[in-house]
Amino acid sequence: MTTADTTPPLRIGLLGTGPWARNTQAPALAAHPGVELSGVWGRRAEAADALATAHGTRAYTGEEGIDALLEASDAVAFALPPDVQAPLAVRAAEAGCHLLMDKPVATTVAGARAVAEAAEKASVASVVFCTLRFAPETSAWIAEQAAVDGWFTARAQWLGSLYAAGSDSEYADSPWRRDKGGLWDVGPHALSVLIPVLGDVEHLTAAAGPADTTHLILRHTSGASSTVTLGLSAPPGAAGVEIELRGERGTASIPGWAGAETAFRGAVDALAEAVRTGVPHPCDARFGLHLTELLAAAEEQAG
């Protein structure tokens, strides 16, 4: 006979009602056995009502709705533009809520630093959702490669066709993503893989390519170097994700992964573990700040 688990579910509120919230976060939170989706907040009442109703929870809207959702939650997940997310994350931390943030935390160093400092001051757990660090297939691969010495160089390419002619993706309607491009949208994913394997970035060179494409050359603390190509405007036939390592033991290429919802469930598990143990996750708000620092430096160089 086994003893039933009496651990209460982690009450997580969701801020945001856009495509990312509808397609990934709300379904993952509502289906997670260790989570109670404590509510959905949106700027538009009808969108909040629709998403909350679809997942059997309560809708919140307006400024007073934010405070009410924070009061009803142990943690909050964000599906908002980064520079809307950052000040609300500070507000949530100050209210004692743990943070499950999307990448990038903010598009300014000051904004990301405010979040990291607020989380630290309030002693709340935080996780920044970089997909490849939480998808089971890729997170296992990263851990395996990080345990191997002798990497010499790496090549990462993340090219989307979000803004290619004929694209009908609903994510293309995001103003911040169109403004900041692939560097800020998919750059965190590539960096979140390279840094734990090759070490921190000690030197960075950036140059602009066609459309929103950005090229990076990185030197890491291990002595290895890497190149990174990022963009959201590639022709559909040229789009794809590749990350390859080369070193003393040969080459290693990152595997495919099941999808964003499965990865997001992994991020929820990571937050719950950080809440339970008090041990910060490697992809916490402090790491999110560091990613923002690197991306801001690259943006300045690339012009």
What is the pTM assigned to this prediction? Answer: 0.95
C-alpha to C-alpha distance for 303 and 291, rounded to whole angstroms: 18
Summarised one tens digit per residue, pLDDT across range 44-56 is 999 999 999 999 9
From the centroid of its chain, how far is CA 2?
37
Q: Over the range 202-220, which residues count as b (16 or more CB within 10 Å of their CB) and which as e?
A: eebebeeeeebbbbbebbb
Q: Which residues contact 262 (CB under 8 A, 6 or more apart)?
A: 135, 136
Question: Above 70 in pLDDT, residue 216?
Answer: yes
Measured in residues, the chain has a length of 303
Question: Above 90 in pLDDT, residue 91?
Answer: yes
Question: Above 80 in pLDDT, residue 6?
Answer: no
131: nearest Cα among 36, 262, 299: 262
Summarised one tens digit per residue, pLDDT across range 236-266 is 999 999 999 999 999 999 999 998 999 999 9
Main-chain dihedrals φ then ψ at residue 36, nearest 5 degrees: -110, 115
Confidence category of residue 21, pLDDT binned at 50, 70, 90: very high
Summarised one tens digit per residue, pLDDT across range 136-188 is 999 999 999 999 999 999 999 999 999 988 888 888 888 999 999 999 999 99
Overall average pLDDT of the 50-78 stretch:
98
**Residue spans of alpha helices (H) in the chain:** 19-20, 26-31, 45-54, 62-71, 82-94, 109-122, 131-134, 136-146, 175-185, 187-198, 260-277, 285-302
174: nearest Cα among 62, 288, 18: 18
C-alpha to C-alpha distance for 162 and 168, rounded to whole angstroms: 8
C-alpha to C-alpha distance for 141 and 133, rounded to whole angstroms: 9
- Per-residue DSSP letter, 170: G
> Which pLDDT score, from 0 to 100, does residue 170 have?
86
Q: Which residues contact 183 (CB under 8 A, 6 or more apart)?
A: 212, 214, 230, 295, 298, 299, 302
